[in-house]
Each structure stands twice: as C-alpha cells, then as structure tokens.
Structure 1
Amino acid sequence: MTDAFSSLTRRQWLATSGAVALATSPWLARAQADWPTKPLRLVVPFAPGGSSEIVARAVAGEMAKTMGQNVFVDNKPGAAGNIAMQEVANSTDGHTLILGHIGTMAVNPYIFAKVPYEMKDFIPITLVSKVPSLYVVHPDLPVKNLTEFVAYAKARPGQLNYGSAGNGSAGHLAFEYLKMATGIFVVHVPYRGTGPMLTDLLSGRLQAAAVGAPALLQFIKAGKLRCIATGSAQRLPQLPDVPTVAEQGFKGFEMTQWYGLLVPAKWPKAHVAKIEAEAIRATRSAAVKDKLAQDTALAVGNTGAEFDAFIKAEQARWKPVIARAQIKPDGV
C-alpha cells in the first residue's frame, strides 16, 4: 500500500513539474530573448590609445548591430589591469564584460604575490584577436634594422631606454623576450598605458619600444617611428620590407599579444551562451576581419572552451619567461 502510494505520488509530482516546465518555458525563452535589457559595458583594463582599444571598439561595434543594445567601451587603467579585472569579477548588473589580455590572464598571476581576482571568477567567451608585436625605434637612432640595433645596444649597455604600457604589459614581455634572445641590456621605463608611452617615444625621450601593430602603423608610415623588426612568424603585408626577428638571426622567435572577451562567472548560462554566439559571429564577420586586418591584427573568434585552453597554454608558456626576466609589478 505504501509503495503504491509512493509510486503514485512520484507520478503526480513528475506530471505536475512537467506541466509547470511547459508553462514556464515560453517565459524563460522570452527572458533570454529580451536580454540584454540595457547597453552592455565592455571594460578595457588599459588607457586609451593602444591596440586593446582598437580591438575592443571593432568587436563592440559589430556586436551592437545584432544584440539589440549598444556595446560601449569603457577604459579602466590601473595596477596592470588588476583594478578593472576585480571590478568586473565583482559586478552584479549582468551587463558588464571585459577584454582579457595576455597581461591580465597569463602574466599577472605570476608577477604579483596576490591578484584581486582568480581565473575561476571569469568565463572565457572567445579569443577575439592576435596582434603581432612590432619593434620600433625613434628615427634619430642611427639603426635601420634589428641587427644594427643589437650591435648599437651591445656597444652601449644600459645607455638606451625602452618604454612599455607598464610592468607585465605585453610590450614589457615582448622586449624582455627580445633581450633574452639577443643578449642586450636596455633599460625598461614603465608607463601607465601605451598612449602616454608613445608620447615620449615620438618625442625622442625614449629610444625604443615593442607595441602591438595597430597602435603603431600610422606613425611608421608617417616616418615618425622606424620599425626594425616584426614579432610575427612571417612578414606583414602592411610592412613587406620589414624582416621578422627570426629572419634577422634569431630562429624560432615569435611574439604576439592577444585579446579575448570574458564575463563574470556568476552570469546565467543562457546569457553566457548568447554572448558567446554573438561575440563569435561578430569576430568572424567580414567587417571585423577587414577592420583588424587594416591594423595588422588577426581576427580569431574561437569557442569559449577553445579560448579557455588557449589561456592555460599561454600561462604555461610565460611563467618561466617571467621568472627568468624577474619581472615585477609597478612599485615593487
């Protein structure tokens, strides 16, 4: 009697719950379709004027066309990106995402004793772009290529300065990687963003830098900076006369920085799925591909799972480089 009653009760419960699910599923579908309910905020953890802003604006503009809401870029520099990462990790509005970067995702965990966020605080959405680093000098420096720069620097150890967007930034990594490969000693001068650093490089207060291609092409073409090498595996179509680092005697050398979208881990799965689909569509669109290609950046647009695996591989790659170069955060 008890078993029959229990079985009946289970059947009644299952029938009732099924009816409820069927009744509410249209509401759930509408809720997902209605999201986002306000403009999406894409936080860029660096100052305006660098490759990160160019990449962010390209994908944000395309996503806004089909998301039903504007996607606006909000630059939030400071503490090598930690401030912005912490803010987005703790955000609760369900409409804030962030542009992840080689620095914030693969470097900061190894240069800071403690970062105010963890990888588990975020869900990777898509790798938006890979950007080759360009090695440039002020045109007053009497060198025309990397070979001449290495010889010039070796004859003047510690007398030349190079700038970056800050300790642990992509530019810092790129130049330290070059120093390790070539055996030169050039002094690092960290800034609070690519924009301020470029101001001093263009004025001649700095002699060299490694920066993502999108932020530099206009100055190279105008003769305000001289590109002595590219960090790409092959020569860039936009700079066909500039050889790669590998071509100039350092076999296997390659340096690219990268940018991808992430959202707080607390986002509903339905919203994560929607933003992933929209971000992939936008990144793979002809408009974004063409826009980024104009600035020598490569559009990717992989899945969240693929982006997650990529981040882990980059962390494994850069951890020993950071230890060897003894890279420390600003103020340490």
Structure 2
Amino acid sequence: MPSHLPSRRDILKCSAAAGLSALPLGAFAQAAWPTKPVRLVVPFAPGGSSEIVARAVAAEMGKTLGQNVFVENKPGAAGNIAMQEVASSTDEHTIILGHIGTLAVNPYIFPKLPYDPGRDFAPITLVSKVPSLYVVHPDLPVKNIKDFVAYAKSKPGQVNYGSAGNGSAGHLAMEYLKMVSQTFMLHVPYRGTGPMLTDLMAGRLQAASVGAPALLSFIKAGKLRCIGTGTTQRLPQLPEVPTVAEQGFPGFEMTQWYGLLAPKKWPAANLAKLEAEAVKATRGALVKDKLAQETALAVGNSSAEFAQFIAAEQKRWKQVIARAQIKPEGLG
C-alpha cells in the first residue's frame, strides 16, 4: 500500500473527531454540570429550622459537587414566591428546599397556586425530619399542655399564638392541637419564624409551635418554656418535657420535614448527579451530627421514596386542613 494513502486507523480517528465536532455544545456542558455555584433557595425568612437544615446540607454538597452551594432566603406568600421562581428558572443551577407547607399544605389552602408540586418539580431527597415543639412565653402561668389547654379554655379567644405564616408548619401544628383539644385561640401570622420568635420572646405573643432546631437555645436560656413535644417519644435533649400524646392526646404526632427539589425540566443526568451528591451529603456523619445537635433527624432517601412520602403527606394534611378550615391570608 502506498505510504501516502491513509490507513484504516487514520480513517477511524478522523471519523471519531468528526463525530465529536458534530455534537452540540450542550453535551459537553451537561457532562460538566454544575458549571457555576448552585443556588439553594429557602422560601422562608432567616432564623428558622429551614435555614439550619439548608446550610448543613449545602456546606457538605459543595465539597463534592465541584461547585459551592449557597443558601438564599426568599420569603413571602407562604413560600409560593420562591417556589414559582425556582419552577420557572432556566439556569439549571437553582434548587429549592421543599417543605411540608409548600408541598403538602399550599395545594389545599390556595384556590390557585403559581406552581404545581408534581408537574413543576423533581423530588431529589428528603433531607430532614424536625420535631415540632410547643412553647409559651415564660410569664404565661402554664407548665405543660394540660395547663395550656385549660388556660386557653378559660379565656376563649384571648390567647394568641404566632406562626411563620398562614399554612406554615407552625400554623398547622397549633391548629392540630386546637382541633384535638377543642380550644379557641387567635392566630397571628408572620413573615417567617425569626420575626415571630422575636415577638414571642418580647411577650407580644403567648404561644407557638416551631421546629426544635430554632428553639433549643432559647429554651435552654429560659427565654421560652417548652410545654410539649410533637414526637411519639420524649426527646433526649429535653427529657423532662412530655409529649403531647402523653398529656391526654394519644396518637398525636407533629413533625416538620424538609427536602431538596429541582425543576423537573432539568436534564435527567443533572438530576441524577444532584440526587447522588445530596444523598451522600445528607447521610454523611457531618450532616447527621450537625442536625442531631439541633434535634433534627437526617434522612437522605431516594428521589422515588421522597415522591411517595410527599404523596402520603398530601393525603394526610388535606384532611386536617379541611377539618380546621385553614385558609390563606385574605381569603379567610
């Protein structure tokens, strides 16, 4: 064979190169995802359990994703503003911390949502379950749930409680207690847990139910009194505080939960990578230890398991919302 003729190997090399050059640039971009820092949106004001959970998992994910993961709080409209923004985002680097309120409550209290939990979002992993605690201002003359219920019944409509907003986990928790105890209390919604706790500790509110991570330091400092836990068993961090179930309401359970979601329109490969890294981070010792210090349980399940969990929670809270007649602000 003349030396100037191309060999079979040369022809194959040229064909391979031509094939690669014909690939769209997006193929390389997807393979390299993420190409810039990932924004984790928290749909509530700073100072609550959601921010603690988000920062714990974001810090660990940033170590293995190849890009930093930064947390951005975006409160408003019971989380609807942030959910809508992330659902319509197109940068493929914006994810959100889903929550009992935005995923299992808002679909049943708002006549029309600017997002659809099932259609617009891909569940990634359930990051954490957080025990709900029932607390009062220390000046309130009650030591436990029994005292509190008796006090509220003696002053119908005069006891007020705060929450992070209409349809928030704290709102649900207190309405759930009102329902089982047949008491009447006034609800004062805030734009986030932080500002609500400020007013509670200042005595402008009398009671609230909040996730344990945001409360423990205030309880230990004597700024708030914990009168009951929403867990099925007493918490090791508060062994002297009985559960609500122990105090005359058998079967009572109330926990908040948080999980990661991404826009469903993302490429499957990017969703799979995000899931793998999120699960790895959530199951890691550092996140588990960090959340345990705050009385939160790290989960880290698969996207399919998280989807099933969301469906079960929607079914449960749809019934509670209907019975308690919870409506968003302005529609009640």
Q: What TM-score do the two structures reach when normalised by structure 1?
A: 0.91
Over 3 Å counting, the alpha-carbon distance change for 1:276 and 1:21 in structure 2 is farther
Aligned to 1:113: 111
Q: Distance in 2 between matches of 1:47 and 1:269?
A: 31
Amino acid in the other structure paired with 1:138: H
Aligned to 1:92: 90
Over 3 Å counting, the alpha-carbon distance change for 1:20 and 1:129 in structure 2 is farther
Listed one character per residue, the Cα deviations across residues 161-217 of structure 1 (whole Å, up to 9, x for unaligned) are: 000000000000000001111111111110111011001000001000000000000
Q: Distance in 2 between matches of 1:23 and 1:276?
A: 30
| Larger mean Cα displacement after TM superposition, 31-40 or 152-161 | 31-40
Q: Distance in 1 between matches of 2:213 and 2:318?
A: 26
Q: Distance in 1 between matches of 2:160 and 2:261?
A: 34
Aligned to 1:233: 232
Aligned to 1:13: none
Aligned to 2:194: 195
The partner residue of 1:42 within 17, 30, 40 is 40
- SS of 1:107's partner is helix
Q: Distance in 1 between matches of 2:188 and 2:21?
A: 62
Contact 2:161 2:186 in 1 (8 A): yes
Aligned to 1:59: 57
Q: Distance in 2 between matches of 1:51 and 1:243?
A: 21
Over 3 Å counting, the alpha-carbon distance change for 1:18 and 1:318 in structure 2 is farther
| Larger mean Cα displacement after TM superposition, 30-39 or 167-176 | 30-39
Query: How far did 1:151 drift?
Result: 1.0
Query: How far did 1:152 drift?
Result: 1.0
Q: Distance in 1 between matches of 2:324 and 2:176?
A: 8
Amino acid in the other structure paired with 2:108: Y
Q: Which runs of 4+ in 1 moved over 3 A?
A: 17-25, 27-33
Query: How far did 1:320 drift?
Result: 1.2
Over 3 Å counting, the alpha-carbon distance change for 1:140 and 1:92 in structure 2 is same
Contact 2:163 2:187 in 1 (8 A): yes
Query: How far did 1:41 drift?
Result: 0.2
Listed one character per residue, the Cα deviations across residues 31-53 of structure 1 (whole Å, up to 9, x for unaligned) are: 44421000000000000000000
Write out aligned runs for 1:147-226 (5 A).
147-226=146-225
Q: Which segments of 5 or more consecutive residues in structure 1 lack a partner in the other structure? A: 1-16
Write out aligned runs for 1:1-332 (5 A).
31-119=29-117, 120-332=119-331
Identity over the aligned pairs, expressed in percent? 79
- SS of 2:86's partner is helix
| Larger mean Cα displacement after TM superposition, 180-189 or 270-279 | 180-189
- SS of 2:97's partner is strand
Q: Distance in 1 between matches of 2:17 and 2:151?
A: 78
Over 3 Å counting, the alpha-carbon distance change for 1:20 and 1:131 in structure 2 is farther
Q: Which segments of 5 or more consecutive residues in structure 2 lack a partner in the other structure? A: 1-14
Listed one character per residue, the Cα deviations across residues 9-32 of structure 1 (whole Å, up to 9, x for unaligned) are: xxxxxxxx999989989x998644
Contact 2:43 2:97 in 1 (8 A): yes
Contact 2:29 2:35 in 1 (8 A): no
Amino acid in the other structure paired with 2:163: S
Q: Distance in 1 between matches of 2:242 and 2:146?
A: 11
- SS of 2:201's partner is helix
- SS of 2:249's partner is coil
- SS of 2:108's partner is helix
Q: Distance in 1 between matches of 2:22 and 2:219?
A: 59
User: Cα RMSD over matched residues?
Assistant: 1.9
Listed one character per residue, the Cα deviations across residues 285-313 of structure 1 (whole Å, up to 9, x for unaligned) are: 00000000001000000000000010000
Q: Distance in 2 between matches of 1:214 and 1:301?
A: 18
Aligned to 1:11: none
Contact 2:43 2:73 in 1 (8 A): yes
Over 3 Å counting, the alpha-carbon distance change for 1:274 and 1:192 in structure 2 is same
Query: How far did 1:331 drift?
Result: 2.1
Q: Distance in 2 between matches of 1:131 and 1:203?
A: 25
- SS of 1:262's partner is strand
Amino acid in the other structure paired with 1:218: S
Q: Distance in 2 between matches of 1:330 and 1:85?
A: 18
